[in-house]
Amino acid sequence: MNERRPAISETPQRRLGKDLLSLAPIPAPDVLRLLQVARDLKAAPRQSPSSYLLTGMTLGLLFEKPSTRTRVSFEAGMNQLGGQSLFLDFEKIQLSRGESLSDTAQVLSRYLDGLVIRTFEQATLEEWARHTSIPVINGLTDLGHPCQALADLMTIWEKMDCLKGLKLAYIGDGNNVANSLLEASVKVGMHIAIGCPRGFEPDPHIVAQAQMEARQTGGSAVITHDPLDAANGADVVYTDVWTSMGQEQDQARRLTALAGYQVNDQLMNEAKPSAIVLHCLPAHRGEEITASVLDGPQSVVLDQAENRLHVQKAILAEWIGHSSS
């Protein structure tokens, strides 16, 4: 077996930093290059040289929230790149019994080559990054979901054959997915319109930063309380659940407030006939999206879900593969 760890691309060393905590600090050219790496890995045969890129390396996954796509795509991706992964159940490690985060982080740095963390507060993720000497990857926080947004861009690029100049309409709760989509879309020159109720807007700091960056890339970022206005002329229509993990006690209020923000046939009539539909899943048919749209011909949600695997592999190659070289 050839255990050489080949380079994924011939481009110069990237400027991505030790950790992937959000997309905000990543330069636009590196976002595009990362997407190209993901597409290259998707096209590569299973037994290509990249299959040995992370041979002998171990990824830890520490999740405080449930997960299907993030966990499985990282575990499968690590395996396909020649490494292995360990799932760390928060309730079954000493951290849950009072060991300090600092001690845990420093010990795990001696065992692992990288750590994917799914937690609640962004500040907790940042604390992990401060105390580890290995790359920390954001597997989802209440503030952002950068891995998802990268897979979304990859899917749009595949389906539309471009990114710059396209309009992305995000309809519903301005949650962590909306925040990361704002950060990601303006970097590649897209126009993003968030249609949400008052009081459910994305993080105002992220909105302001996205609008500032959009002026440099030719994109735009607009927040509106009219879902039909957001969807008007859209190339991509995106939605997510109305009640995110940890918000279950607020579900009744959310269902009432968001009732007019469903992605349905009427709303899709506002978008371009060629528009595609995205949803990061899991979906609640009949709430944020109707079955006729989610399962209809414009939906590409299964391709979108598959691309989580390819993007995770690109992230592993870039952050963990490069950190060991």
**Positions marked active-site:** 118, 145, 148, 240, 280, 308
**3-state DSSP of 221-275:** EEEECCHHHHHCCCCEEEECCCCCCCCHHHHHHHHHHCHHHCECHHHHCCCCCCC
Please give the order of strands across the beta sheet that includes 84-89: 84-89, 58-63, 114-118, 136-138
Q: Are 240 and 211 in contact (CB under 8 A)?
A: no
User: In this structure, are residues 239 and 258 in contact, taking their beta carbons and an 8 Å threshold?
Assistant: no
Is the peptide bond between 282 and the residue preceding it cis, with omega within 30 degrees of 0? Answer: yes
Token couple for 121 = 């507060």
Whether 267 and 255 have beta carbons less than 8 Å apart is answered as no
**b/e 219-229 (16+ beta carbons within 10 angstroms → b):** bbbbbbbebbe
